[in-house]
A and B are shown apart, each in its own frame.
Chain A
Amino acid sequence: MATVEPAFDVAPVKAPASPSRSRRRSILVLLVLVAVIVVLLAQGLLHSLNYFETVDQAYQTKASIGTKVIRLEGLVKPGTVVRTSVGASFEITGSKTKYYVVAHGSPPQLFRANIPVVVVGHFLSATSSTFDSNQILVKHSATYIAAHPNRVKAPNGSVR
């Protein structure tokens, strides 16, 4: 008598519907993600979508700025930089006006005349042209030029 093999279906079956545990975990991940992004946005973009105000913008809205702490951007005027015991003083210019900055703390390595800077601080009064700053940030350009483009290397390796 022949033996009958029991039926055993090994055909691929359709995957079961997404279990609720996976869905709950997905929702949890998305919630955490949204919370982190909201915190980052609140910290960054929503408070300061525009990171600074230019000297010209500050000139136009000076009355409303008053003595509020702002970030002010302008070009360091050549010949005005004076290193002081507490930091530096200099003038920053826009196209319409200039302000005198008294900065506390050591300026960054790249700080020099004719470079754009962002100074963090406040005007001494609503009518004052003196800006009291506790931080200088250098805003360098996206252009890169060799320091000494005309210098060439001699065959012996020396630079002239």
Chain B
Amino acid sequence: MKLFAQRALGPVTLVLLGLTIWLGIWVTPPDAVQGNLARLLYVHPAVATVALYISYGTATVASALYLWKRTRSMTLDRIAEAAVEVSLVFIVLTLITGSIWGRPAWGVWWVWDARLTSTAILGVLALGCLALRRANDDPVVRARRSAVFVIISAINVPIDHYSVEWWKTLHQGATVFNPGGGLKVHGSMMWTLLLSFVSFTMAFLWLLRARYRLSERQYQNTERALQAALDQRRAEVNS
């Protein structure tokens, strides 16, 4: 059953993404103000949600569990690393889709308002985390420093989320998770928006699993190489 779920993850993700695109482009109506521009609603908010809360959230939880002695394991470190990498991909997608939306809607590709700046900073922090990991050779030191860094940098996530409420920004307020609690979207547009959240979350899980398996194989290869070197040395000593 577990194996089936793992194998089905990719195809199910592709089907859901395809369904989201089909509904978003051909079924949902244009928006009263933005017209067809609003179809980016089925990509940009979901990608941003996955980037900030789901991916970076996973990395933060895994890092916190790694630092807690009772749950410490290299598996958690590998999950955190994979989640940060996937988060970076989604942050970049967030900035790109936001720019594509911003140019015709606002009239500019980019503005230095609090929302856009804090999202860009989160991208730099994710990149910094990956650079920090590569700067450390010792896996234990690398895991500890990386976990501390991820937890500290996660402070930027609530700042990013509330930036549209705390400060005056050109970026509009939240359509979902807003202070009013309600979804500010009409009919089929709402269902397609909700589906996009599911689709992109599945895409995150798919990418996370693939990246985790890759780092696990890298670890196993390193272990195998070490074991082979030890065996070779042992044979040299015994001969």
Chain A residues engaging chain B, CB cutoff 8 angstroms: 5-6, 8, 10, 15-16, 18-19, 21-22, 25-26, 28-30, 32-33, 36-37, 40-41, 43-45, 47-52, 54, 73, 107-111, 115, 118, 135-149, 151
Looking at the complex, which one of A16, A73, A142, A145 makes contact with B173 (CB distance below 8 Å)? Answer: A142
A44 touches B32 (CB 8 A): no
Question: Which of the segments B18-26, B49-57, B101-109 contacts the partner chain?
Answer: B101-109
Q: How far is the CA of A109 from the CA of B33 in the complex (A)?
A: 11
- CB pair B187 A149 closer than 8 Å: yes
Tell me the nearest residue of chain B to A14, going by C-beta.
Answer: B140
A146:B105 contact, CB within 8 angstroms: no
- Selecting from B6-14, B116-124, B194-202, B207-215, the interface stretch reads B116-124
Q: Apart from A40-B120, A144-B185, what 9 extra A-B contacts exist at CB < 8 Å?
A: A5-B238, A21-B137, A33-B124, A41-B117, A51-B170, A109-B37, A110-B33, A144-B34, A149-B186
Contacting residues, chain B, for A149 (C-beta < 8 A)? 29, 186-187
Do A6 and B237 have beta carbons less than 8 Å apart?
yes
Could you tell me the distance in whole angstroms from the C-beta of A6 to the nearest C-beta in chain B?
Answer: 6
Can you list 7 A-B pairs, Cβ within 8 angstroms, ordered by A? A29-B132, A37-B124, A45-B118, A50-B168, A138-B105, A141-B33, A146-B29
Residue in B closest to A146 when the chains form the complex, CB atoms: B29
By a CB distance below 8 angstroms, the chain B residues around A73 are: 168
State the CA gap A137–B138 with chains docked (Å): 50
How many angstroms from the CA of A147 to the CA of B128 in the assembled complex?
A: 44
A42 to B114, CA, bound (A): 12
If the complex has contacts A108-B106, A109-B104, A144-B184, are A25 and B135 also in contact, measured as CB distance less than 8 A?
A: yes
A139 to B113, CA, bound (A): 12
Contact: A26 with B29, CB < 8 Å?
A: no
Task: List chain A residues, Cβ under 8 A from B118.
Answer: 45
Q: How far is the CB of A25 from chain B (nearest CB, A)?
A: 4
Q: Does B178 contact A (CB under 8 A)?
A: yes
Interface centre among B28, B184, B234 (most CB of A within 10 A): B184
Q: Does more than half of chain A's interface fall in helix, strand or loop, or is it mixed?
A: loop
B68 close to A (CB within 8 Å): no
Contact present for A148 and B29 (CB under 8 Å): yes
Residue of A with least CB distance to B108: A137
Q: Given A8-B234, A33-B125, are A18 and B31 also a contact pair (CB < 8 Å)?
A: no
Q: Are A144 and B186 in contact (CB under 8 A)?
A: yes
Expressed in whole angstroms, the minimum distance between the Cβ of B148 and any Cβ of chain A is: 11
Say yes or no: A49 contacts B106, CB within 8 Å.
Answer: no
Specify which of B112, B121, B124, B174 is in contact with A47 (CB 8 Å cutoff).
B112
Contact B230 A10 (CB under 8 A): yes
Q: Which single member of B32, B41, B105, B111 contacts A51 (CB below 8 Å)?
A: B111
- Residues from chain A with Cβ under 8 Å of B104 in the complex: 108-110
Once bound together, how far apart are the Cα atoms of A70 and B158, in whole Å?
28
B139-168 CB contact bits vs A (8 Å, 1 = yes)?
111000100000000000000000000011
Residue in B140, B174, B187 whose CB lies within 8 Å of A146: B187
The distance from the CB of A34 to the nearest CB of chain B, in whole angstroms, is 9
**Given A26-B136, A146-B189: A139 in contact with B170 (beta carbons within 8 A):** yes
- Residue contact B38 to A144, C-beta cutoff 8 Å: yes
Nearest chain-B residue to A36 (Cβ)? B124
Name, among B32, B118, B135, the residue most crowded by chain A CB atoms within 10 Å (CB to CB).
B135
Asked if B121 and A137 sit within 8 Å, CB to CB, the answer is no
Provide the residues of chain B in CB contact with A30, threshold 8 Å. 128, 132
Q: Is B169 an interface residue (CB 8 A)?
A: yes
Other-chain contact of A118, B138, B170, B172, B184 (Cβ < 8 Å): B170
Whether B107 contacts A136 by the Cβ 8 Å rule is yes
Q: Is the CB of B35 closer than 8 A to any CB of chain A?
A: yes
